Amino acid sequence: MPHLPHTPRRRTRAVAQLTLLLTPLLSLTSLALPTTALAHTPVVAPEALRAVALAKASTATTGKWAYKLNVGGTGSASSSSDVVGAVDGTTLQLGLLLGGEAHYTRGSHDWQNTLKLQHAQTRTPVMDAWIKSADNLDLESTYLFRLRAVPWFGPFARAKLQTQVIRSFDVRPVDTTINYQDNTGKATATEKVAAETETGTTGAFEPMLINFSAGLFANPVEDKTITVKTKAGAGSQHIVARDGYAVTGYDKATQTVTLKQIETSSQVGAEVEVEANGAINSHLAWKAKTRLFYPLYSTAEQKLSGIDALNTEIGGTLSIKLAKWASLDYVVTVRRIPLIVDLWQVQHGLLLTTGFNLL
């Protein structure tokens, strides 16, 4: 059959047949997509989609700092006159509180830094002088890596420093005999001092207690009403002293004070810590913390074993919020560090605290 050239009539017939075939498909497409979508939806290249995804991932992992700085004060005053069992006069107590926080979070990384400074001076009718009644400086830096599958669990590392800021003295209202001992408990000297005479014990930033620890943390409960935090692992404890002495005994019958020299030493062992805090209501809050450190290796000349070697720190606070800037706090601290003082050191008091957040 001979080849026939394309004529206008044959071309019109082919276009009509193609239109009949595409009309159902175009009808289905118009039902599935609105007319505006067809008219305005741009074609997005895969490279553009990938750039948007990377931008979202970068935003989700961007680090964030949170700061807090509180400055406050404590104070109390009482006076008595002709009261049975009390010395006539006025008792004053003034104190300064400083607390700071700097926390950094990024994805699974959590870096927590805290600063606490407490200082108080007291004056009583017994002695006509201001005596230091509290002087604590605590610095702590903790790194937590929260597992993605279990964000309340993971490894941690921490560095902590505890010391005092101002030099310490032992002062008594009566004539006193001072017995000096070396770090092993051997008597080295005896001295008699008059009433209200300051006997130097430790210098500024002495003794300095430095702790390093690493292990695992678990914070199974983290809520507004209650939070529970636990840590366990290996730790080291370093005591830095400069010929300082600690009061290890006082015989009231003979007015004799025993001062024992503090030894610079290092220890390595196991550490466990449990901390809990919460709020009973909008005005009443509480906090409790216990830390135990048991040395397995020590460079100290004084050798301790068993329960005698255990280092213990226990603290608790009950706070009643009186106003946005004031609270009534009962604070108790119990501590036993055998290589510094082989006694239970107890501090507690009821304080009217005022404070302002500067950040």
How far, in Å, CA of 69 to CA of 357, rounded? Answer: 6
Residue 61 confidence class, pLDDT cut points 50, 70, 90: low
Of residues 18 and 108, which shows the higher confidence score?
108
8-state DSSP, 49: H
- Residue 274 scores a pLDDT above 70: yes
pLDDT for position 180: 96
Ranges 35-49, 209-223, 345-359, most confident: 209-223
End-to-end CA distance of the chain: 96
Residue 58's φ and ψ, nearest 5 degrees, are -65, -40
Whole-structure pTM value: 0.77
Are 96 and 73 a contacting pair, CB within 8 Å? yes
Are 209 and 163 a contacting pair, CB within 8 Å? yes
- Residue 190 scores a pLDDT above 70: yes
pLDDT for position 203: 94
* Amino acid at residue number 357: N
pLDDT for position 344: 93
Range from 189-203, 247-261, 316-330, 342-356 carrying the lowest mean pLDDT: 342-356
Of residues 115 and 18, which shows the higher confidence score?
115
What percentage of the chain carries pLDDT values higher than 90? 61
Are 280 and 286 a contacting pair, CB within 8 Å? yes
Quick one: average pLDDT of 298-312? 93
- Residue 266 scores a pLDDT above 90: yes
Query: What residues does each domain of the chain span?
Result: 48-357
Spell out the residues 6+ positions from residue 141 whose beta carbon is closer than 8 angstroms to its own. Answer: 111, 112, 113, 158, 159, 160
- Residue 119 scores a pLDDT above 60: yes
pLDDT for position 350: 80
Residue 53 confidence class, pLDDT cut points 50, 70, 90: very low
Spell out the residues 6+ positions from residue 84 whose beta carbon is closer than 8 angstroms to its own. Answer: none
Say how many CA atoms lie within 13 Å of 177 toward its Cβ: 9
pLDDT for position 79: 86
